[in-house]
Chain A
Amino acid sequence: MQISINGEAREFTAPLSLLDLIDLLELKGKRIAIEQNGEIVPKSQHATSLLSEGDVLEMVVAVGGG
């Protein structure tokens, strides 16, 4: 299935949860927040939130800024 992550199209094999995706992207343990199709998915739901064809994800992190 094709999903968009931070504006880039990526190909993955279903079924896939957000937690699986975090693992695949080597982001495990990093403090990130995720929006799935415009809705924030709380950390507590990462394991149970499944990805579907055409999903649009935004994954953000805190960076230096003023």
Chain B
Amino acid sequence: MSDQFQIAGQAYQSRLIVGTGKYQDFAQTRAAVDASGAEIITVAIRRVNIGQDASQPSLLEYLPPSEFTYLPNTAGCYNATDAVRTLRLARELLDGHKLVKLEVLGDANTLYPNVRETLIAVETLVKEGFDVMVYTSDDPIAAKELEDIGCCAIMPLASLIGSGMGILNPWNLRLIIESAKVPVLVDAGVGTASDAAIAMELGCDGILMNTAIAGAKDPILMARAMKLAVMAGRDAFLAGRIPRKLYTADPSSPISGLIAAK
């Protein structure tokens, strides 16, 4: 059965995108990414630490751009100007790379997206030829607007970034999925494998996560669990779940031919 996952015209085997932050060291990052099976990894853009030991390894040495699709993000940006500037630098840094994750935050406590600034940034980035995967609220109207402007993937939060609270509003996610013509990925809020499976069973095309893996007691094992959960959830979505029957049982075995029948 062909079940292709495509982002901006590129096909991927894995529907799990992972972040590379919060790990103990680069070796652990690499091991977790490998266990997750992810082909797309997110990275942040930050100032060079001038004066540090030049022989120190860098993330790019452990996770070479030749092996993975990089998804530079705008984490920490609170307005469209900063986000666009960050992604222009990312494009230069990664030799003209176009696929980016836009997130424009609205509040330092909740890290909730500022949709107004996000829309402004998308307008510019799309005009400049970026392929924008956009982090947004779980608002179906905002999601549609972002798609109409030209985002290549819509990434609503399941719950707050790093909260591990899981899928708080499955109904809104369904509304977004049903109307979207581009991939919809849950970005933020996944806490454990069952959350990932639920998101996929809802019909999400993929999931982006970082803390749920990096923050686990055993990140490598959790990465594997997430890989399997995303695959299981996708299969379950395609297979089609049985309808829920409130207060009505439905036996699996034949009801005729019972030996005790009179």
Residues of B contacting A33 in the complex (Cβ-Cβ under 8 angstroms): 45, 89-90, 92-93
- Distance (whole angstroms) from the CB of A32 to the closest CB of chain B: 6
Number of interface residues of A (CB under 8 A): 25
B159 at the interface (CB under 8 A from A): no
B37 at the interface (CB under 8 A from A): no
Number of interface residues of B (CB under 8 A): 37
Within 8 A of A (CB), among B116-156: none
Does A40 lie within 8 Å of B50, measured CB to CB? no
Residues of A contacting B43 in the complex (Cβ-Cβ under 8 angstroms): 62-65
Within 8 A of A (CB), among B46-99: 46-48, 50-51, 54, 58-60, 70, 72-73, 75, 85, 88-90, 92-94
A59 to chain B: closest residue by CB: B48
B192 at the interface (CB under 8 A from A): no
Assuming the A-B contacts A33-B90, A60-B93, are A65 and B47 also in contact, with contact meaning beta carbons closer than 8 angstroms in the complex?
A: no
Residues of A contacting B209 in the complex (Cβ-Cβ under 8 angstroms): 66
- 6 closest cross-chain pairs (CB), A and B: A66-B19, A66-B210, A65-B44, A26-B54, A33-B93, A64-B20
Residues of B contacting A66 in the complex (Cβ-Cβ under 8 angstroms): 18-22, 42, 44, 73, 75, 208-211, 214
Does B22 lie within 8 Å of A64, measured CB to CB? yes
A35 at the interface (CB under 8 A from B): yes
| Interface positions of B (Cβ within 8 A of A) | 18-23, 26, 29, 42-48, 50-51, 54, 58-60, 70, 72-73, 75, 85, 88-90, 92-94, 208-211, 214
Within 8 A of B (CB), among A10-44: 25-27, 30-35, 40, 42-43
- Distance (whole angstroms) from the CB of A27 to the closest CB of chain B: 7
Most buried by B among A30, A58, A61: A61
Does A61 lie within 8 Å of B58, measured CB to CB? yes
Q: State A18–B217 Cα separation when bound (angstroms).
A: 44
Residues of B contacting A48 in the complex (Cβ-Cβ under 8 angstroms): none
Residues of B contacting A40 in the complex (Cβ-Cβ under 8 angstroms): 88-89, 92
- Distance (whole angstroms) from the CB of B107 to the closest CB of chain A: 18
Residues of B contacting A8 in the complex (Cβ-Cβ under 8 angstroms): 50
- Distance (whole angstroms) from the CB of B19 to the closest CB of chain A: 2
A5 at the interface (CB under 8 A from B): yes
Q: State A34–B48 Cα separation when bound (angstroms).
A: 10
Does B21 lie within 8 Å of A65, measured CB to CB? yes
Assuming the A-B contacts A66-B75, A66-B210, are A32 and B93 also in contact, with contact meaning beta carbons closer than 8 angstroms in the complex?
A: yes
Partner of A62, one of B18, B19, B93, B210: B93
B55 to chain A: closest residue by CB: A26
Assuming the A-B contacts A62-B44, A65-B20, are A31 and B93 also in contact, with contact meaning beta carbons closer than 8 angstroms in the complex?
A: yes
